[in-house]
């Protein structure tokens, strides 16, 4: 089975959970022998792992015909793409996009991030997708997150193949209810045109059904999983300070992640004990507000903001922690608690996060219940047995949540969609 | 002739309230009064009252033919006394029929038999006295919390003077043996063991209203036919369950009360009678000993103690609790002793279980084992600090004990001495008043002489 996937991020250059999930899912699916995945991203860097799928960089797909030499093309895009593909794609330019701002290869430049002109990038991505869909052969289209829904719809219209969309988040999660109408329109349009909708949790599924008015029969839940930790990360020896416990929050410091509840809970814990440190790693629009809140509560000496972390740093930070906490107000899935549990760190998550649906060996509280949260932190830090239990059993549990199983589930949905498509 | 030993247990815990760690040291009241009142009333109305009324009816209409045994945990008794005295009245009424035997059990319904002999003994004897005081009969047969039993526990119970003990007829202990005989403890042949027939017991307390069960609906004559069909030499059929199974696990709408009512009648037709545990212990001879190296219970498929002490959290809570057992035993603070009873209840540990079970577990206010553990440990933290505040922590218990004995002896000595002083003083006063009477005339004359002297000197 050939799948054409549209995504926005792919490791190692990732900005959030979307990239990690895309990687894990495709890797898990590639375990099935007849699975052939082509993954489109706006801007490949050349160091992506292409051993189990083929990556097409949307910034190397021509939409305007340019007469260029093989060597030149090879020089420009050869690091991540076969130059022959460039010529094949060039044969499928479907309209005159001469008015567009293109480069010397006739391609549109992408930032590959979430820039201010995001809507323009989404639109460009969808234009390029038309070329890809005309050139590639595939049985089904799979779009990850709202940024790529327009591209998916376009590909569906061009090729007549069924479209499956993967909802990693909705705007209701990001904005605590104050949805951006433009984003909502794109999301809704994508869902209306999709032949099947996969959601990363039941929580998201309910949002899709009730807020986007989708038929429950075409919406299913496909929980995320985690990839096993590579050896070099397993080998990290944490720097632990004796007699001192570290409680860590790791993620974007934005409204969605509920950072203020963490600060308030920390203040409560510190009223009683002093040998616990709190770390809020990450950056975001609420960071300054959180710094001043910590100062207001008089706990700034025990509350640290190390800033944005990436790659190995993340795991170093996790491994040095005694408790990981994710008090998200609304989290479609939330892969980071699973990563913490992989590092044998006892974890506290909010009941309002999607991963709570599949995790059992962690403490769940309501995001607003700072008393329960403080109590849980205190309990893990003072009762060695609870710490030990969550550490050992949590690791065991999360080691059983693998992408291969998710891949099989997705495959089942594909088969079902294809068999019932246009009949 | 076959005999049925029917036994019901009454136990409800004192519910703990939501207790956060910042309450440690400031709040020493640990109980959810509202929940306690609500739950005990619910159980009383839905189960205890109708069930006891039925038992009384059965006793009255069958004369002395029907017998039943009951036991009540001390904490349940306290709650019934406060919130549902009607149940106590029914218990008295049942007791007055003369068909009911009361058994002893640990006051707290706790796990002290697994932790601390002294503490176990104390609460069992306390419960025995309480039953004696309330119902006028001294229990001769013992049942441990959730029928926990091992050889050692058996020996301890025998040492307290009990003739028999109830426990589970667990397959892994019995092997090829049948629970339908009387056995004895391997460490002390004087302690007889009655083993629960879990199949016949669970038919009533677990499966009775289950419409998926192939024997559904179960009628009293079918049930009695099963018992009658057992081999001739198997004589004791022990049917033990919690009283709240009637009405709660098996709703009254399943007509379980009518089923019970019919039991003595259909038993009589088949020549099967009823006996109380102590009658069985005195009438029948033991057929052999039972070896139980590791504790067993009537809970879960495993019939062991893993539902209370199965994971590290439960074991930590258990060890922390019993680490202060001796101190609590030494002290004389009534509130601490009371809290000690309530905190020991095995249900508190059950809430922390992480075992998967087919039978749903009601965790009360807790939504996970971790939540239950955290709450309990917070309370325990406060309780332990209160216990530690009574006497210096760095002192050995033995040393403390001898000091306390010295203090007590000295106190008694002081009382004795004071008495003596009082006595002597009283005597002295008597003598003084006597001698004063005698001396008064002399004194007067002496004064006169003195006065004279004064005048003379002038």
Q: How far apart are the first and last CA of chain A?
A: 20
Using a CB-CB distance cutoff of 8 angstroms, which residues of chain A are in contact with residue B368?
Answer: 363-364
pLDDT at B444: 53
Query: How many C-beta neighbours within 10 Å does residue B268 have?
Result: 15
Report yes or no: A369 and A352 within 8 Å, Cβ to Cβ. Answer: no
* Residue B30 C-alpha, separation from nearest chain A C-alpha, in angstroms: 16
pLDDT at B441: 61
In which residue ranges of chain B is pLDDT below 50?
449-458
Q: Across the interface, do A383 and B21 touch by the CB < 8 Å criterion?
A: no
Residue B104: closest CA among B145, B71, B152 = B71
pLDDT at A176: 75
Q: Encode pLDDT of B28-69 as tens digits.
A: 999 999 999 999 999 999 999 999 999 999 999 988 899 999
d(CA A180, CA A167): 17
**Half-sphere CA count of B124, side-chain side, radius 13 A:** 28
**Which ranges constitute the DSSP H helices of B84-208?**
85-96, 112-115, 117-135, 151-159, 171-174, 198-205
Report yes or no: A262 and A289 within 8 Å, Cβ to Cβ. Answer: no
Longest dimension (CA), chain B: 125
pLDDT at B135: 93
pLDDT at B443: 54
Q: Which of B310, B312, B369 to mutate to test the interface with A (most CBs of A within 10 A)?
A: B312
Report yes or no: A257 and A337 within 8 Å, Cβ to Cβ. Answer: no
Query: The tokens 């090829």 sit on which residue?
Result: B176
* Residue B360 C-alpha, separation from nearest chain A C-alpha, in angstroms: 16
The A-side interface with B (CB below 8 A) comprises 268, 271-272, 363-364, 371-372, 374-376, 378-379, 382-386, 388-390, 393
Contact pairs from chain A to chain B, CB under 8 Å: 58
Q: Is B86 exposed, middle or buried (0-12, 13-18, 19+ CB in 10 A)?
A: middle
B374 touches chain A (CB under 8 A): yes
Structure tokens at B99: 């068909």
B309 touches chain A (CB under 8 A): no
Question: In terms of pLDDT, which residue wins out, A230 or B396?
Answer: A230
Pairing mode, strands B192-196 and B182-185 = antiparallel
* Residue A262 C-alpha, separation from nearest chain B C-alpha, in angstroms: 17
Nearest Cβ partner for B368 among A363, A371, A374: A363
* Residue B377 C-alpha, separation from nearest chain A C-alpha, in angstroms: 8
Say which residues have a Cβ less than 8 Å from residue B458's Cβ, sequence separation at least 6: none
Would you place residue A215 in the very low, low, confident or very high pLDDT band (cuts 50, 70, 90)?
A: very high
Question: Can you tell me the mean pLDDT for A79-83?
Answer: 88
* Residue A382 C-alpha, separation from nearest chain B C-alpha, in angstroms: 10
| Residue A300, pLDDT above cutoff 70 | yes
Using a CB-CB distance cutoff of 8 angstroms, which residues of chain B are in contact with residue A384?
Answer: 316
pLDDT at B438: 77
pLDDT at B445: 52
Nearest Cβ partner for A388 among B312, B317, B374: B312
Instruction: State the angle between helix axes of B256-269 and B220-228 in degrees (0 to 180), rounded to the nearest 10.
Output: 40
* Residue A167 C-alpha, separation from nearest chain B C-alpha, in angstroms: 29
pLDDT at B454: 47
Residue A198: closest CA among A420, A416, A358 = A416
Question: Can you tell me the mean pLDDT for A119-130?
Answer: 93
ipTM for the whole predicted complex goes beyond 0.85: no
Structure tokens at B267: 């038993």
Residue A9: closest CA among A76, A55, A62, A63 = A55
Residue of A nearest to B21 (CA): A375
**Secondary structure percentages of chain B, helix, strand, coil, to 5:** 55, 10, 30
Using a CB-CB distance cutoff of 8 angstroms, which residues of chain B are in contact with residue A374?
Answer: 20-22
d(CA A248, CA A347): 10
Long-range contacts of B317-323 (CB under 8 A, 24+ apart): B317/A385, B317/B348, B317/B349, B317/B352, B317/B373, B317/B376, B317/B377, B317/B380, B318/B111, B318/B115, B318/B349, B320/B377, B320/B380, B320/B384, B321/B115, B321/B380, B322/B112, B322/B115, B322/B116, B322/B119, B323/B384
pLDDT at B396: 80
Using a CB-CB distance cutoff of 8 angstroms, which residues of chain A are in contact with residue B26?
Answer: none
Q: How far apart are the first and last CA of chain B?
A: 116
Q: Across the interface, do B370 and A363 touch by the CB < 8 Å criterion?
A: yes
| Residue A266, pLDDT above cutoff 90 | yes
Nearest Cβ partner for A375 among B21, B311, B367: B21
Q: Across the interface, do A379 and B378 touch by the CB < 8 Å criterion?
A: yes
């Amino acid at each position: 089975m050939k799948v054409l996937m549209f995504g926005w991020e792919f490791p190692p250059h990732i900005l959030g959970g979307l990239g990690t999930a895309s990687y894990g899912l495709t890797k898990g699916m590639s375990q099935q022998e007849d699975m052939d995945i082509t993954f489109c991203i706006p801007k490949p860097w050349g160091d992506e792992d292409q051993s189990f799928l083929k990556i097409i960089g949307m910034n190397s797909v021509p939409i305007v015909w340019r007469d260029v030499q093989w060597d030149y093309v090879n020089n420009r895009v050869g690091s991540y793409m076969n130059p022959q593909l460039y010529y094949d794609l060039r044969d499928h330019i479907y309209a005159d996009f001469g008015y567009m701002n293109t480069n010397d290869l006739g391609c549109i430049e992408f930032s590959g991030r979430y820039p201010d002109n995001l809507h323009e990038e989404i639109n460009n991505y969808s234009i390029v997708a038309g070329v890809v869909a005309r050139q590639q052969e595939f049985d089904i289209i799979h779009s990850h997150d709202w940024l790529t829904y327009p591209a998916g719809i376009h590909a569906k219209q061009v090729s007549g193949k069924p479209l499956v969309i993967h909802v990693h988040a909705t705007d209701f999660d990001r904005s605590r209810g104050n949805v951006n109408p433009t984003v909502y329109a794109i999301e809704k349009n994508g869902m209306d045109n999709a032949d099947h909708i996969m959601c990363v949790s039941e929580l998201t599924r309910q949002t899709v059904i009730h807020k986007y008015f989708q038929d429950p029969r075409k919406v299913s839940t496909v929980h995320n999983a985690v990839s096993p930790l590579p050896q070099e990360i397993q080998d990290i020896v944490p720097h632990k300070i004796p007699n001192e416990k570290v409680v860590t929050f790791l993620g974007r410091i934005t409204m969605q992640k509920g950072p203020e509840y963490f600060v308030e809970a920390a203040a409560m814990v510190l009223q009683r004990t002093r040998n616990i440190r709190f770390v809020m790693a990450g950056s975001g629009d609420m960071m300054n507000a959180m710094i001043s809140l910590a100062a207001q509560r008089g706990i700034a000496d025990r509350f640290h903001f190390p800033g944005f972390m990436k790659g190995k740093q993340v795991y170093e930070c996790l491994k040095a922690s005694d408790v990981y906490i994710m008090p998200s107000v609304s989290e479609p899935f939330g892969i980071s608690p699973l990563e913490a549990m992989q590092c044998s760190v006892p974890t506290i998550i909010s009941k309002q996060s999607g991963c709570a649906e599949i995790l059992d060996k962690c403490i769940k509280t309501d995001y607003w219940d700072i008393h329960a949260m403080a109590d849980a932190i205190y309990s893990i830090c003072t009762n060695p047995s609870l710490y030990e239990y969550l550490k050992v059993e949590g690791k065991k549990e999360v080691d059983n949540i693998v992408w291969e199983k998710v891949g099989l589930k997705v495959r089942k949905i594909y088969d079902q969609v294809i068999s019932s498509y246009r009949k | 002739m076959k005999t049925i030993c029917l036994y019901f247990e009454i136990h409800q815990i004192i519910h703990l309230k939501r207790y956060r760690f910042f309450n440690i040291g400031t709040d020493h009241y640990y109980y959810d009064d509202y929940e306690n009142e609500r739950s005990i009333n619910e159980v009383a109305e839905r189960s205890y009252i109708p069930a006891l009324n039925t038992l009384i009816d059965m006793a009255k209409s069958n004369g002395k033919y029907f017998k039943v045994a009951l036991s009540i945990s001390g904490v349940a008794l306290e709650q019934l006394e406060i919130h549902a005295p009607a149940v106590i009245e029914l218990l008295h009424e049942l007791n007055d029929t003369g068909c009911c035997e009361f058994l002893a059990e640990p006051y707290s319904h706790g796990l002290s038999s697994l932790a601390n002999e002294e503490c176990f003994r104390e609460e069992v004897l306390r419960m025995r006295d309480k039953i004696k005081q309330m119902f006028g009969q001294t229990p001769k047969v013992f049942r441990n919390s959730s029928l926990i039993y091992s050889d050692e526990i058996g020996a301890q119970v025998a040492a307290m003077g009990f003739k028999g003990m109830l426990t589970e007829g667990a397959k892994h202990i019995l092997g090829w043996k049948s629970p339908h005989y009387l056995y004895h403890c391997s460490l002390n042949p004087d302690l007889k063991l009655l083993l629960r027939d879990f199949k016949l017991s669970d038919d009533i307390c677990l499966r009775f209203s289950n419409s998926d069960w192939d024997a559904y609906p179960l009628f009293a004559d079918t049930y009695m036919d099963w018992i009658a069909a057992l081999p001739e030499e198997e004589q004791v059929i022990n049917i033990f369950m919690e009283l709240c199974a009637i009405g709660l696990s098996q709703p009254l709408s399943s007509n379980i009360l009518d089923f019970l009512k019919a039991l003595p009648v259909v038993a009589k037709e088949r020549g099967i009678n009823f006996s109380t545990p102590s009658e069985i212990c005195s009438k029948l001879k033991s057929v052999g000993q039972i070896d139980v190296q590791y504790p067993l219970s009537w809970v879960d498929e495993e019939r062991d103690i893993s539902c209370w002490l199965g994971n590290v959290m439960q074991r930590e809570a258990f060890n922390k609790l019993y680490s202060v057992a001796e101190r609590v035993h030494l002290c004389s603070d009534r509130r601490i002793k009371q809290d000690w009873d309530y905190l020991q209840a095995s249900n508190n540990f059950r809430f922390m279980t992480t075992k998967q079970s087919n039978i749903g577990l009601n965790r009360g206010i807790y939504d996970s084992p971790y939540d239950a553990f955290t709450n309990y440990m917070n309370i325990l933290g406060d309780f332990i600090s209160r216990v530690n505040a009574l006497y210096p922590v760095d002192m050995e218990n033995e040393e403390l004990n001898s000091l306390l004995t010295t203090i007590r002896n000295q106190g008694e000595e002081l009382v004795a001495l004071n008495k003596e002083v009082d006595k002597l003083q009283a005597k002295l006063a008597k003598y003084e008043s006597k001698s004063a009477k005698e001396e008064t005339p002399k004194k007067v004359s002496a004064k006169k002489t003195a006065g004279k002297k004064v005048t003379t000197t002038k």
